[in-house]
Chains A and B, each alone.
Chain A
Amino acid sequence: MSFLTITGLSAKLRGTSFPILRDVSLRVSAGEVHGLVGESGAGKSMIGKAVLGILPTSVEITKGRIELDGVDLLSLTPAERRRRIGATAALIPQDPLTALNPSRRIGPQITDRLVDILKWPRSRAEARARELLAEVQIPDPDRVMRSYPHELSGGMRQRILIASAFAAEPKLIVADEPTTALDVTVQKQILKLIAEMQARHGTALLFVTHDLGVVSKVCQSLSVLYGGKVVEATGVRDFFREPAHAYSRALLAATPKYTDPAASLTPVPEAVIAAVQAEIAAHDRTHDRSARRG
């Protein structure tokens, strides 16, 4: 049974007709890791933000449904939606340096949600936070909880954010390029940590990334996006063995091969881009026509 179901989600830049998302549909089952891949500006982060209700004010959802655990989020009032999302979903943000409030100590930033949404007593929430910090291999959790973010390294902060995301045992976590802002050496550890935590807690994960290598390691299924449209949605094994869409094939071929340093980078061929753009334009036309008819 799918835990997150997005159906025909379209969004545009407010006040214009510029599309951000075009008729996006995807399903994530409970406990599944689903990758969202695509180039910069393909709309992969926007899907994650739409699910969590944190789209920038400049982006407006025009149609579609986002069902989280059987409830259509877009039909709720903002306050209900916030509570609903707070109780069932969480975010692992991209940049650990800006994702913790610099003027608050770490402890309350982790326990906030437990106290506010789940109404836990503070002492229990703090015990839970300590437990989670230990689980993400942070030495001396007590001291870290009393620290301010600037006293900790980037890798530490990302661990804290991961602990914080799992704190309320959410059923879905959106990881928005969680390793992009980190050092290459730290990236691998963090990735491993997220995969371990996900497996242990059985959380569904929507993993936004542009790194197909990461997808092959942690995801079970993925959606490839171009221009705000899903061009291919498939299982990871099928995708790497035999990508169905020409754009997916080109994207896969463009992955740098670290085993052969002499090999030059392969860009996505222009013909493929032209083809996928034509496909999107065709989709827009039929979509507009049906909208006008209806």
Chain B
Amino acid sequence: MVDKSGADGRSLIRRRAGLKLWLSGGWLATLALAAILAPWIAPQDPLAQDLFLGRLPPVWIQGAEPGFYLGTDSLGRDVLSRILYGARLALIVALVAGTVTCVIGASLGLLAGFLRGWVDVVISRAIDIWMAFPPVLFSILLIAVMGPGLQSIILAIVVIDWTRFARVVRAEAMAQGAMDYVASAQVAGRGRISTMLTEILPNVLPTIIALLTLEMGIAVIVEAILSFVNLSISTDDPTWGGMIAEGRTSIHQAWWVLIFPLITLFLTVLSFSQLGEGLKDRFDPVLR
């Protein structure tokens, strides 16, 4: 019978998922808003250098200058403003690369897992071969060939990570495909592709969403790694990875140049993965 009283453990799961969802969603929303509004809310020009203002500490430490809330780096550039502008690139990469990777990988995984046969053989072998390449070297190589730039970063992430989606979604689609309701749908005269879209896809969707947000976090990391080794976009534009790389050289004199972008990066990646977990719990029809 329909149980709306929540006397069992389901209501507890939901409450915890709710908190996770709010915290991670809140951080990401704030960050997104800050990134969009960066030109208006950033206290300083992120590119303006002033050697007289070099290595200023954050405002709550003695020797700070007003207007430079999180201090400045060795060239006198404002850390907070650079983090805000860096968020733009990080979030664009997360959204675009994450989504494209998800669509390509999940489609291939779904086809392989549900249709089986030669489709599965072709896609699975492609995944196996693909996964034999070392991903970091592969992406560095790709960007070295294509030249740095936003498209190159996104393409590198898609090319490396579609296998993650394909693998997981394929396994999930296979598990769902063995369920009796898929057989029932086919006995009821539903075609293969239509069965895949109405019976399999909705049940794989919670997994896809969890993977998608996870992938967005990974995209942020990959972007940071690439900019850390100076293979991201042009060297002038602020990136979190680039800031971390610069901060590393002056960690003893000006720890804030390294620490603040690092914390932002950490919170962002954590929020993406927790958002996925929270959404999965919320969308899972059995837990809902």
A-facing mask of B165-192, CB < 8 A → 1, else 0?
0000000000000011101111111110
Number of chain B residues close to chain A: CB under 8 A: 25
Which B residues are in CB contact (< 8 Å) with A109? Answer: 181
Q: Which of A22-30, A97-105, A261-269 contacts B (4 or more CB under 8 A)?
A: A97-105
Measured CA separation A98–B188 after assembly (Å): 16
A56 (CB) vs chain B CBs: closest residue: B178
Q: Is the CB of A117 within 8 A of B188?
A: yes
* A213 vs chain B, min Cβ distance (A): 24
B116 (CB) vs chain A CBs: closest residue: A57
Q: Is B286 an interface residue (CB 8 A)?
A: yes
Of B117, B188, B285, B286, the most chain A CB neighbours within 10 A belong to B188
Q: Is the CB of A116 within 8 A of B181?
A: no
Q: Is A188 an interface residue (CB 8 A)?
A: no
Q: Is the CB of A98 within 8 A of B179?
A: yes
Could you tell me which residues of chain A, from 98 to 150, have a CB within 8 Å of some CB in chain B?
98-104, 109, 112-113, 116-117, 143, 147-148, 150
Q: Which of B1, B2, B189 contacts A85 (CB 8 A)?
A: B189
Between A and B, how many residue pairs show CB distances below 8 Å? 85
A147 (CB) vs chain B CBs: closest residue: B2
Q: Is the CB of A99 within 8 A of B180?
A: yes
Measured CA separation A99–B191 after assembly (Å): 18
A-facing mask of B1-30, CB < 8 A → 1, else 0?
111000000000000000000000000000
Q: Is the CB of B285 within 8 A of A82?
A: no
Q: Is the CB of A113 within 8 A of B181?
A: no
Measured CA separation A15–B203 after assembly (Å): 31
Q: Is the CB of B184 within 8 A of A87?
A: no
Which B residues are in CB contact (< 8 Å) with A291? Answer: none
Q: Is the CB of B188 within 8 A of A100?
A: no
Q: Is B202 an interface residue (CB 8 A)?
A: yes
Using A94-B180, A101-B203 as known contacts, say yes or no to A117 and B286 having CB atoms under 8 A apart.
no
Q: Is the CB of A112 within 8 A of B185?
A: yes
Measured CA separation A143–B1 after assembly (Å): 11
Q: Is the CB of B203 within 8 A of A90?
A: no
Q: Is the CB of A93 within 8 A of B180?
A: yes
Measured CA separation A254–B223 after assembly (Å): 68
Q: Is the CB of B187 within 8 A of A151?
A: no
Q: Is the CB of A82 within 8 A of B180?
A: no
Measured CA separation A87–B179 after assembly (Å): 22
Q: Is the CB of B286 within 8 A of A150?
A: yes
Using A112-B185, A116-B188 as known contacts, say yes or no to A57 and B117 having CB atoms under 8 A apart.
yes
Which A residues are in CB contact (< 8 Å) with B246? Answer: none
Q: Is the CB of B202 within 8 A of A90?
A: no
B192 (CB) vs chain A CBs: closest residue: A78
Q: Is B199 an interface residue (CB 8 A)?
A: yes
Which B residues are in CB contact (< 8 Å) with A271? Answer: none
Which B residues are in CB contact (< 8 Å) with A57? Answer: 116-117
Q: Is B198 an interface residue (CB 8 A)?
A: yes
Using A148-B285, A151-B3 as known contacts, say yes or no to A100 and B181 having CB atoms under 8 A apart.
yes
Measured CA separation A91–B189 after assembly (Å): 12
Using A101-B202, A152-B1 as known contacts, say yes or no to A54 and B190 having CB atoms under 8 A apart.
no
* B199 vs chain A, min Cβ distance (A): 6
Measured CA separation A236–B187 after assembly (Å): 28
* B189 vs chain A, min Cβ distance (A): 2
Which A residues are in CB contact (< 8 Å) with B188? Answer: 86, 90, 112-113, 116-117
Q: Which of B3, B181, B186 contacts A53 (CB 8 A)?
A: B186
- Interface residues in chain A, defined as those with a beta carbon under 8 Å from any beta carbon in chain B: 49, 52-54, 57, 79, 82-83, 85-87, 89-91, 93-95, 98-104, 109, 112-113, 116-117, 143, 147-148, 150-153, 156, 161, 164
- Interface residues in chain B, defined as those with a beta carbon under 8 Å from any beta carbon in chain A: 1-3, 116-117, 179-181, 183-191, 198-199, 202-203, 205, 285-286, 288
Q: Which 5 A-B pairs have the closest CB atoms?
A: A86-B189, A99-B180, A113-B188, A103-B202, A93-B180
List 12 A-B residue pairs with CB atoms under 8 Å apart, sorted by A's residue number. A82-B189, A82-B191, A87-B189, A90-B187, A91-B183, A91-B184, A93-B183, A98-B180, A99-B184, A100-B181, A102-B285, A113-B189
